[in-house]
Amino acid sequence: MSKKSQVFLIVIVAIASAALTALLVNIFEKKVESTQPWVRVVEVDENDTNPEKWKANWPKQYELYAKTAITTRTRFGGHGGSEALPEEKIDRDPWLKRMFLGYAFSIDYRDRRGHAYMLQDQENTERLSKPQSGSCLHCHASIMPLYRELGDGDAMKGFEKTYQYSYMDLNKKLHESGHAYPVSCVDCHNPDNMEIRVTRPGFIQGIQRLADSDAPVPHLPSIERWRQGSREKPYDPNMDASRTELRSYVCGQCHVEYYCSDKMKLTFPWGDGLRVENIEKFWDNTTFPDGKRFYDYKHKESGAEVLKAQHPEFELWSQGIHARSGVACADCHMPYMRDGATKISDHWVRSPLLNINRACQTCHHFSEEEIKARVDGIQQKNFELLQRAGTALMDQLDAIQAAQAQGANAEDLAESLEFQRKAQWRLDFIAAENSMGFHAPQEAARILGEAADYARQGQVKAINWKKD
């Protein structure tokens, strides 16, 4: 072999060796990166509610979280317009405004925006023109440090005091405390190890009520296991639940039905189960501290003592095929993604329809067009049923007003008013739930069918009333 050839061979071997070494180093770095997904640059603790501070340790998660400020829109939800605030639902569907007469939602009820706006939008809603309870901040602010302050270190005690404050007073305390931020990192993550966890006292009490009941919850196996044990200690979602369950629980802290007023503490009504009739039973068996019957408000036209559903996504999801199949809320609304060699949850929380590739096609091997068409078909049918049930309730209210004009009083119309309570509860349960029926299509259809039926029965009762 010539000297020139030897030199050439040495160069080739050197280049190959360098390339192989670089490849091995890269593989090693990626393996290390995958086992050490974050580096603690700054210390964070339970009082660090400002997500900016967490950014140094978890820049990608923060970058995605910040995107919740971007306006997004699907056919039946979100806000994607050029106007500053989302559209008023009560202008788009006037039956909503009439259904809420006597309640602040008849003043202002808009489409929702991203998590980044949850505190700002609450602080600026026209519903605050009527007195509101400080309990409402439970799900709109990073409020746990304030709970601890109010409870002298005990967050649960602090939480139980908040209904006694007006919204304005407690919101002022929140700003003075330096924790006036939307729900952020510390509300769902343990700052010591970043494990997901639940923090909201209302949820912790509510899920313990559910565990103590005998309501079937096959989609929550940790509760079923706890029930089979000694029950010496209350069910603890942070200790007993699986990570999969926690990926729904962290959302279920707020995307739920609850009572929030100045008459009693914020309450999650799960003592009889999660179905619409279970929750109705819980409220029917609840009384205010003064012993009077529980209700959310008296309807301004009819005088009926009615219930107001909040946003029962967790409850409706619990009745659907995704929950039964072990699919968590975060699997669809915060699907896993790759950041280098690290697998993380997408913290840009939004509709799966805006992220079909990772949110849906991981399991459903169809085209985006096919998936969108299926979802649209489900939601369109639910929308049509919702409008028909809304029409039925309006017809019932017309019949009640006609009877009242002829001299009927509350006692005369007692049966019709009870039907209104049942109809309105079911109608609002689906109207307030933010999936337009998708979380459990058959259950949503059943509930709306019952809503229309009860409204029509109440209408007949009012029409058949005759003055003696």
- Same domain membership, residue 167 and residue 66: yes
- Same domain membership, residue 310 and residue 191: yes
pLDDT of 296 > 50? The answer is yes
- Same domain membership, residue 394 and residue 324: no
- Same domain membership, residue 218 and residue 282: yes
- Same domain membership, residue 438 and residue 352: no
- Of 342, 365, 388, the one marking the end of a domain is 365
CATH of the domain at 376: 1.20.140.10
| Count of positions (residues) in the chain | 468
pLDDT of 36 > 60? The answer is no
304 neighbors 298 (Cβ within 8 angstroms): yes
Cα–Cα distance, 366 to 360 (Å, whole number): 9
- Same domain membership, residue 421 and residue 457: yes
Does residue 37 or residue 318 have the better pLDDT? 318
Whether 175 is in a domain gets the answer yes
- Same domain membership, residue 373 and residue 359: no
- Same domain membership, residue 413 and residue 288: no
441 neighbors 386 (Cβ within 8 angstroms): no
192 neighbors 44 (Cβ within 8 angstroms): no
Residue range of the domain that includes 405: 369-463
On average, the pLDDT of the chain sits at 93
CB atoms within 10 A of CB 331: 20
Tokens at residue 131, please?
């007195």
- Same domain membership, residue 343 and residue 381: no
Q: For residue 128, give Cα distances in angstroms to 125, 178, 233, 255.
A: 6, 22, 40, 21
CATH of the domain at 213: 1.10.1130.10
Q: Which pLDDT belongs to residue 189?
A: 98
- Of 341, 365, 389, the one marking the end of a domain is 365
Tokens at residue 190, please?
């343990």
- Same domain membership, residue 296 and residue 373: no
Whether 241 is in a domain gets the answer yes
- Same domain membership, residue 301 and residue 423: no
Q: At what angle do helices 414-432 and 276-284 cross, to 10 degrees?
A: 130
426 neighbors 454 (Cβ within 8 angstroms): yes
- Of 319, 344, 365, the one marking the end of a domain is 365
Residue-wise pLDDT for 403-451, tens only, equals: 999 999 999 999 999 999 999 999 999 999 999 999 999 999 999 999 9
Q: Mind giving me the DSSP string for 41-71?
A: -S---TT---HHHHTTT-HHHHHHHHGGGS-
- Same domain membership, residue 327 and residue 191: yes
Among the residue ranges 39-43, 279-283, 293-297, 302-306, the one predicted with the least confidence is 39-43
Smallest Cα–Cα separation from 179: which of 153, 145, 156? 145
Whether 41 is in a domain gets the answer no
Angle at 64 between CA 60 and CA 113, to 5 degrees: 165
Residues 6+ apart with CB under 8 A from 459: 392, 395, 396, 398, 399, 416
